[in-house]
Structure 1
């Protein structure tokens, strides 16, 4: 085994925590620690967020990780690389184009044959009339009919072939779209590895026997993973409990297949900021300079003269090109004479800052050449990576002196002045392992300076954009996103067994675990709206974890009943789950209104409403029925409403029900009946009347 092979360790994906959007993966790697302590762990996905990489040593307390960074490598695939789906799609596209071309050519031939018609010769004025050649006309018509019949038959075959190829192409394209993104794309394989530096010796290591094995744990975040909860409820009539199985619909396109991983589901937002706010101190007195950032130092003196010999060497030969515009050895424009291109506008993240003179504006007093404070509008020189902070050297290159010359009147006003102050490097700029040095060919402000390498972002940008597309997947029926149903709390659900979720961007159902819940069957009816009873399951959550909103498949006595929407159920909460009408519970409602007068001079109108509700249980088991009625409410001080006893206000609270709601619960034995009587009196002054009349049912 070579030294390079010994440094490259394989890894296996052990566990994944899926958040509302995105996931955190945990990989395990094991190998023999080399003498220099540098290890390369392969197998990381292409959508990896390099800023989220964490590594630590398991078990061996004497070894620790001092550096962890991400490297990307690309290599051409072998001729025998598996790319069956993509090649099949390309073949079907060529076949579809060929079939479409044959169909179009057939239509062209039909149009040409349809244009055949007899044309009589031109007759002069003095020529006598000639007889029409009927046989020739009929022969031409027979030829056209016979030819068109064959062409139309061939056209039908071409159209059928085109439809068949189009169907095969759509199926193959759909399979390619849904295929796992773990496979390499096209003919180039991109590998992402974590380069680690370990120091120390493992416990129990004997230098004479060789190095001991070390186990590493790598943790990183990836986008392109979502989940929604789903449930399966099993219940038996007459029992007070049931089995509620929590399942999750998981979709991911992270670039790696999750095979045999320990899965956990969390409602938290992975992109939420977790850093604590920093309160800057306020001092009264003499102004003090801000301290220099950690890991920053001033550039060496004479940095601008570093390329003086390179520019004095003369023009570089231009290689011959296929266009014939230049030949080898021809004179080229000197590098120093080339105009300095204006620096591009800085992105949202801090970019490298060159000398303020290169921005087209005179340098402010006390300005630095390296790091500069982040200015508004993303002006050049907002921040830098690497060396900076030295005063302007006296000897500057010719190109730089030309850039220092006064600019045009119009351009001076448009160029913002370079901000001054202490340097403010970002985290990427202090990551020295990922910095690259710009060569002498770079004529911009990065020449001879260190700046962050964006090659990884360029490679992973396409994969990340494609991975984040799973957030737009249509949800299953009755499904609710975890952040919408979780409210103000965050919870984590750990799957009981390992699961497999391929990276194909489609929904996959994973069983998480069984949750004990309390169940009881009750019947609910509102006779004033509909004389029918509805079956409901009263679900009570006695566990310490919340149940999120989502679809639930209800099974009663081992028979599938329906799929309903389960609302969010907090610990200790109780909710009703509707199962549809119950034909075995008969409800009848009868009302009677009697109007009379009362008072000293009969100045009060009394409207006596009597309500009679009859219930009949045709089930073979007792049934608990809750009957709901409404009494009128008033805001007039001279209108009184008196209710009859027996009906109560709902215990759920006024916010859960309409004003004036009254309930009454009754337990009906098997085959039994019950009669509920109630009502109310409305007393109003004789000069007033109810809206829409006094006699209303």
Structure 2
């Protein structure tokens, strides 16, 4: 039910904040406020979360919104583009099915023609040999060949038409699947609006002045992942990092010209503050009664006495009901149970009366031994009441013509006997959503307010369709924001307004550009692989975190590659791999000498020598880091002595920490320069022991 007296204000979507899953939309509406302050803001999507509706008057000090609720209206509409797509898909489907049937029919005719064979008459035992009718056989073969040629020609044409029809059907179905969901269902235009009641202070605004109203709500079906583009020039210590976002949404409304914000927080996570009840030491005090409780009015049970005395309502006839054979049984004199009721005419026994329309309800079966009777928790507009059990007791006789209340189901809610200790729920305090139960309900619910059913199949289907975007395949190297953000939440605002249709596909939105520190370095681990890799060391000197995602690296205005950027916190430093550097050659040779030392030669000495040769064939100087591994031990009688000028790696510029014992040489090589690195270490172990895997290893 909607309020037709409220003034209608058209609204426009102004801004959207996309979270990890879902979004918060803000609409603006303007108009002259009527005297009663009741305004209906139109244009809301069908998939919105009704409990998230918020409204405020930002530019009028002292203005207050006393009520805001969602209302739904439906009316026929003309054919839209989506309706034409649906109709096209239906027509192509019918055409495809007709061609399939035609093809099956022609194939059946071909099989029948192929089965034609000359059948000579049966020959008796005493008959002489007959001359074979060759001319008739040849005429039959020509007839079959001619007809098969025609059928195969027709079949080839049908196959071609079927191939074209399948292609057109797949294209139309894909267009329908990718079409924007910002369209009404077939033949029905559903209008979702927000009914807002505004209270203004005295004297504000002036009569006839326009008032701006903001309406905010949550919608499912929106996701985003970050992506980047890095512009870097060789020799410079800074680069430009353009942050972009891939956004997909199927919220049921197109976002056209909106300000887009991106957040990593969880929209569905509860943020309500807990209610802490006070603890007192002393005498026990009764709990304060909730203000949501109201005692039912006296005489409520007698309100429907006339309805019950009017007799059973006629059952809807949907077809002939089977009646058991036998003579009709006429009901006897009326039996009065409790207060006298007006007896109706005699009732002839026949088909059982439908439940809830005056037929005598069956007595509930007694529960098995050891099983408690079903318990129903009372829920009324006042709140939750005490639990009551439906005991298995025989039903009282019902007077003929009197309408008996239907038997409550096992879990039917019944009202509490009193308001003591009742705690209403959130749905029971939403008075605008409460429904007054009519006389057809159980006697325990008649005339009382209960939370109404907000089941909307169309809205449920919209929300199911909206949630499908969370299963979209991610772009290459993309990471969900809540995975890369960790325990911190960040928000980014796009630099310009954007258009994002509700089609469930990825759309790119430019967020902004920041300056990052860059430094080109080369890394090589010749003990693992004699290949030098170019890396770009990024430094985030801003106060804005950079989430993990794909980054397109452009060096000197030439696209180099697409790499995976790790999460870069404010002030953080990370190394980004750029691939092998073919112009730098590295050669590594090792030498192991095993000897003994100590008193009585009780110590085995394993002397490892490492020789590395490096040649820079590039036309520019490079900074190179050559990594080596030194064994580590926890044995007290094993000693390791290093013989090199390498350094211990302490700074971790990658997502994974360095392995224990990692050492590195840092050197600067000019263009065309070479370098030789010598190092090594000695392992001293007791003569009676050996290294795991053997002593002679490189």
TM-score range, shorter chain: 0.7 to 0.9
SS of 1:198's equivalent? strand
State the alpha-carbon separation in 2 of the partners of residues 185 and 378 from structure 1: 42
Between the aligned partners of 1:670 and 1:397, the Cα distance in structure 2 is 108
Distance 2:200 2:366 in 1: 52
CA shift, 1:266, in A, is 0.5
Counterpart position of 1:95:
95
Q: Is the 8 A contact 2:609 2:680 kept in 1?
A: yes
2:691 aligns with 690
Counterpart of 1:249 in structure 2 is 246
How many matched pairs? Answer: 651
Q: What is the aligned partner in structure 1 of residue 665 from structure 2?
A: 664
Matched, 1:491 2:487: no
Match of 1:384 in 2: 380
C-alpha change, 1:591 and 1:91, in structure 2 (3 Å) is: same
The CA deviation at 1:389 is 7.3
Q: Residues 293 and 269 of structure 1: is their aligned pair in 2 closer, same or farther, counting only changes over 3 Å?
A: same
Give the C-alpha shift of residue 650 in structure 1: 0.8
Residue by residue over 1:365-421, the C-alpha shift from the partner in whole angstroms, topping out at 9 and shown as x without a partner, is: xxxxxxxxxxx99953342225897999xxx9979997799x9xxx99x99999886
What is the CA–CA distance in structure 2 between the aligned matches of 1:267 and 1:359, rounded to whole Å? 55
Instruction: Provide the rounded CA distance (Å) in 2 between the counterparts of 1:474 and 1:378.
Output: 48
Q: CA shift at 1:292, angstroms? A: 2.5
Residues in 1 aligned to 2:469 and 2:75: alpha-carbon distance in whole angstroms: 28
Cα deviation digits, residues 430-463 of structure 1 (max 9, x gap): 1112222222233474332222233464442111
Displacement, 1:645?
Answer: 3.3
Alpha-carbon distance in structure 1 between the residues aligned to 2:660 and 2:534: 24
Change over 3 Å in CA distance of 1:415–1:255 after alignment to 2: closer
Q: Secondary structure at the match of 2:167?
A: helix
Q: Does structure 1 conserve the Cα–Cα contact (< 8 Å) formed by 2:611 and 2:678?
A: yes
Deviation, 1:659, is 2.0
User: What is residue 112 of structure 1 aligned with on the other side?
Assistant: 112
Unaligned runs of 5+ in 1: 343-357, 362-375
Change (3 A) 1:171 1:581: same
Distance 1:377 1:491, change over 3 A: farther
Partner of 2:218: 221
Asked whether the 8 Å contact 1:311–1:336 carries over to 2, the reply is no
Task: Please say if residues 26 and 219 of structure 1, whose CA atoms lie closer than 8 Å, have aligned partners that are also in contact.
Answer: yes
In structure 2, the partner of 1:239 is 236
SS in 2 for 1:548: coil
SS at match of 1:302: coil
1:403, 1:156 → 2: CA distance? 70
State the alpha-carbon separation in 1 of the partners of residues 19 and 486 from structure 2.
Answer: 15
CA apart distance, 1:84 = 1.9
Q: CA deviation at 1:560?
A: 1.1
Show the counterpart of 1:45. Answer: 45
Asked if structure 2 preserves the Cα contact closer than 8 Å seen for 1:379 and 1:418, the reply is no
Equivalent position of 1:607 in the other structure: 606
Alpha-carbon distance between aligned partners in 2 of 1:60 and 1:199, rounded to the nearest angstrom: 11
Q: Contact 2:14–2:258 at 8 Å: present in 1 too?
A: yes
2:358 is the counterpart of 1:337:
yes
Asked whether the equivalents of residues 299 and 387 of structure 1 are also in contact (C-alpha less than 8 Å), the reply is no
Evaluate the alpha carbon distance shift between residue 339 and residue 524 of structure 1 in structure 2; reply closer, same or farther with a 3 A threshold. Answer: farther
CA distance in 2, matches of 1:444, 1:19: 47
CA distance, structure 1, for counterparts of residue 51 and residue 481 of structure 2: 25
> Which residue of 1 is the match for residue 634 of structure 2?
635
Alignment of 1:429-440 (within 5 A): 429-440=428-439
1:280 to 277, 280, 294: 277
Q: Distance in 2 between matches of 1:80 and 1:587?
A: 68
Structure 2 distance, partners of 1:240, 1:359, is 84
Distance change in 2, residues 1:4/1:425 (3 Å): closer
Partner of 1:679: 680
After TM superposition, the structure 1 = structure 2 runs for residues 182-581 of structure 1, keeping only pairs within 5 Å, are 182-200=182-200, 205-206=205-206, 210-283=207-280, 287-316=284-313, 323=319, 337-339=358-360, 380-385=376-381, 422-443=421-442, 445-455=444-454, 457-581=456-580
Partner of 1:349: none
Q: For 1:45-194, list aligned pairs within 5 A.
A: 45-78=45-78, 83-194=83-194
> Which string of whole-angstrom CA distances, capped at 9 and with x for unpartnered residues, describes residues 541-567 of structure 1?
111121111111111111111111111
In the TM superposition, residue 304 of structure 1 has moved relative to its aligned partner by 1.5
Contact residue 182 and residue 253 of structure 2 kept, 8 A: yes
Which residue matches 1:619?
A: 618
Give CA-to-partner distance per residue, 1:153-182, whole Å, 9 cap, x none. Answer: 221221221121111111111111111111
* Partners of 2:47 and 2:251 within 8 A in 1: yes
Within 2, Cα distance between the matches of 1:469 and 1:182?
16
- Provide Cα deviations, 1:88-127, integer angstroms capped at 9, x if missing partner: 1111111111111111111111111111111111222332
Q: Distance in 1 between matches of 2:221 and 2:374?
A: 30
Distance of aligned partners of 1:679 and 1:149 in 2 relative to their CA distance in 1, 3 Å threshold: same
- Structure 1 pair 436–687 and aligned structure 2 pair: CA distance change class (3 A): closer
Q: CA offsets per residue over residues 55-105 of structure 1, 9 Å max, x none? A: 001212253211000011111113577622111111111111111111111
Q: For 1:436 and 1:147, locate their aligned partners in 2 and report how far apart those are by CA, in whole Å.
A: 73
Partner of 2:342: none
Distance in 2, matches of 1:437 and 1:101, equals 55
> For the structure 1 residues 391 and 534, does the alpha-carbon distance in structure 2 shift closer, same or farther, using more than 3 Å as the test?
closer
CA distance in 2, matches of 1:550, 1:48: 30
Distance change (3 Å), C-alpha of 1:552 and 1:603: same
TM-score, normalisation: structure 1: 0.86
Give, in angstroms, the shift of residue 691 of structure 1.
3.5
Could you say which residue in structure 1 is the equivalent of 2:330? none
1:297–1:389 Cα contact (<8 Å) kept: no
Q: Residues 235-268 of structure 1: CA distance to partner in whole angstroms, max 9, x if unpaired?
A: 1111111111111111111110111111001000
Give CA deviations for 1:19-76 in whole Å, capped at 9, x if unaligned.
1111110000001111221111000000111100000012122532110000111111
Question: Residues 389 and 269 from structure 1, CA distance in 2 versus in 1: closer, same or farther, beyond 3 angstroms?
Answer: closer
Q: Are the aligned partners of 2:74 and 2:190 in contact in 1 as well (CA < 8 Å)?
A: yes
What is the aligned partner in structure 2 of residue 353 from structure 1? none
- CA, structure 1 residues 619+684, in 2 after alignment: closer, same or farther (shift >3 Å)? same
Q: Classify the secondary structure of the residue corresponding to 1:464.
A: helix
Summarize deviations over 1:111-153 as a string: whole Å, max 9, x none. 1111111111122233222221111112111221222122122
Provide the C-alpha distance between the structure 1 equivalents of 2:412 and 2:8, rounded to a whole number of angstroms.
50
Change in CA separation of 1:302 and 1:4 when aligned onto 2, cut-off 3 Å: closer
Distance 2:137 2:586 in 1: 86
Distance of 2:404 and 2:140 partners within structure 1: 85
Is the Cα–Cα contact under 8 Å of residues 379 and 450 in structure 2 kept in the other structure? no
Alignment gaps of 5+ in structure 2 = 323-346, 389-395
Partner residue in 1 for 2:332:
none
Q: How many angstroms apart in 2 are the aligned matches of 1:295 and 1:142? A: 94
